[in-house]
Amino acid sequence: MDFMKEYEKWLASPALSAGEKAELEGIRGDAKEIESRFYGPLEFGTAGLRGTMKVGLHQMNRHVIRHATQAFAQVVLESGAEAAKQGVAVCFDCRNHSQEFAREAACVMAANGIFVRLFESLRPTPELSFAVREYGCAAGINVTASHNPKEYNGYKVYWSDGAQLPPEPAEAVAKKMGEIDIFTGIKSMDYDQAVSEGKIVIMGAETDEAFLANVMAQVNDKAAVDKVADTFKMVYTPFHGTGHKLIPEALKRLGMQHVLCVPEQMVIDGDFPTVVSPNPENPEGFALAVELAKANGADFILGSDPDADRVGIMVNTGNGEFKVLTGNQTGVLLLDYLIGAMKRTGKLPKNPVALKTIVTTEMARKVAESNGLKSFDTFTGFKFLAQKKDELEGSGEGNVIMSYEESYGYMLGSFVRDKDAVTASVALTEMAAWYAGQGMTLYDALLALYEKYGWYGERTMNLVMPGLDGLKKMADLMNGLREKPPVEIAGVAVKEQKDYKDGSVVTVADGAKGKMELSGSNVLRYEMADGTSVIVRPSGTEPKVKVYILTQGKDAAERDANIAKYAAWAESLQG
């Protein structure tokens, strides 16, 4: 694509406002900046779109939103005659421009004859998934960039099952975007007119109540909370985002009497002024929460990311200091707790199943199988976990009690098909309260699980490859590993080389070839002679290759030494 030609096309378009034109005129002499904005469109994938908010083709702005929505509208209409009546649910988060982008999407859908249900104000991502299922919508749209920095926004698309778009319709949307002109090919209409004509209907408290009723139905042992309600204290932060309303309300309905919310972070603000990054994976984001917990004698801290699909926790390590638990650790604790709580209360279903992704700790499989559950892996992403859940439950093969991935996402119940920080917050708090009733913190509980199931450990390495040549570097790295598969990593022999692209398995010792159940994803996995798994996967949403180290040792020291050894190898891949 001729980026200068595209730049001039945008400048000449009557669709641009005076402010947008001024922004583009301001970079006229900066060829590098113009190229970065116009060298090509943002790639539309199964996760939708994500990018920084600027005027330009390779950015997030109202024109790109309209363009994607026009293409999506056509795919929805082609899915069947009823789709226009079933409609599309539209949601948005706390980010700058999110409400504006959501309204733009709603107006394009309405102009294409598709009924729209639009949330009145910001809502958690899982509530969008719920709304699609609850109201029988044909699809859903959510304007959010999850836990990314403040400069970003995104556009997530959902199908009628409430899960993010599967590959086939996502490819259809991308193809149509290539065929539709970003300015002249768009149908839109006035927002107020669409609302007054009933083409856009606003959702509010009634949807919240229906969603919360399903959330509270996931409680297994309310008596455990009641037992410690007078004394158990916790701290909650929404990181300026969409969890600010429903999570404290759900915890109140659980019976929690002492939920201390971080006041500075209860303020809705797309600039996230109190944190460098609004990501519950980062300990520094919890600084204010830790301060509040120490001042009030709380042992448990919970934080949801800006769109309230991910949740992270910090726990008192026993000496007054707080430690962030990884998504893997939190998931293992929760899975083990749910199995026990469901057994105690008679709520464990027949043929119980736990689902995880291929990059999530093997400790989850050990917990599941040690307690009589089956465990299955899927590719990374909740659309795949949702798909597997539907497949198992539809065939009668199993009932899924929990699905999770290492990046702080947990899915419980059957009313959503995406990661859900609202329901997970309730379950994690119930768990923390139950352990408090046993005289234990969650840190005590985690150490007990290591003693019981083994000293598992994980680390994710992010090999960041930004810039125009980043995609090439990522592709070169994956191609290099395929052309010359390693037979040794960090001085340890590779036992098996697995390629999830074609599902192939090669046994290094004798060259024997086999097949895996999963295929169709650009992921490489190496099973090591010491029991470690090393997985290499390019990110689908960010310019980086992720290397996952899943290991185990006879004790904490051996586990940590293994992680350090393989991490050094991963760093060498950066070049």
Radius of gyration of the chain (CA): 24
| HEC sequence for 121-159 | CCCCHHHHHHHHHHCCCCEEEEECCCCCCCCEEEEEEEE
Phi, psi of 163 (to 5 degrees): -95, 160
What is the Cα–Cα distance from 570 to 572, expressed in whole angstroms? 5
425 is catalytic: no
**Residue 121, Cβ density class (10 Å: 0-12 exposed, 13-18 middle, ≥19 buried):** middle
Q: What are the residues facing 260 on neighbouring strands?
A: 235
* DSSP characters over 42-81: PPPBTTBEEEE-SSSTTS-SHHHHHHHHHHHHHHHHHT-T
Q: What are the residues facing 161 on neighbouring strands?
A: none
Q: Which are the contacts of 181, defined by CB distance < 8 A and separation ≥ 6?
A: none
What is the Cα–Cα distance from 65 to 69, expressed in whole angstroms? 6
Question: Contact at 8 Å (CB) between 38 and 58?
Answer: yes
**Residue 545, Cβ density class (10 Å: 0-12 exposed, 13-18 middle, ≥19 buried):** buried
Q: Which of 556, 523, 319, 324 is nearest to 456 (CA)?
A: 556
Question: Contact at 8 Å (CB) between 343 and 372?
Answer: no
Check residue 559 and report its DSSP letter.
Answer: H
Quick check: helix, strand or coil at residue 407? Answer: coil
The amino acid present at 310, given as its one-letter code, is R
Q: Which of 141, 163, 168, 140 is nearest to 154 (CA)?
A: 141
Q: Which of 146, 403, 425, 533 is catalytic?
A: 146
What is the Cα–Cα distance from 434 to 428, expressed in whole angstroms? 10
* DSSP characters over 444-462: HHHHHHHHHH-EEEEEEEE
Residues noted as catalytic: 146
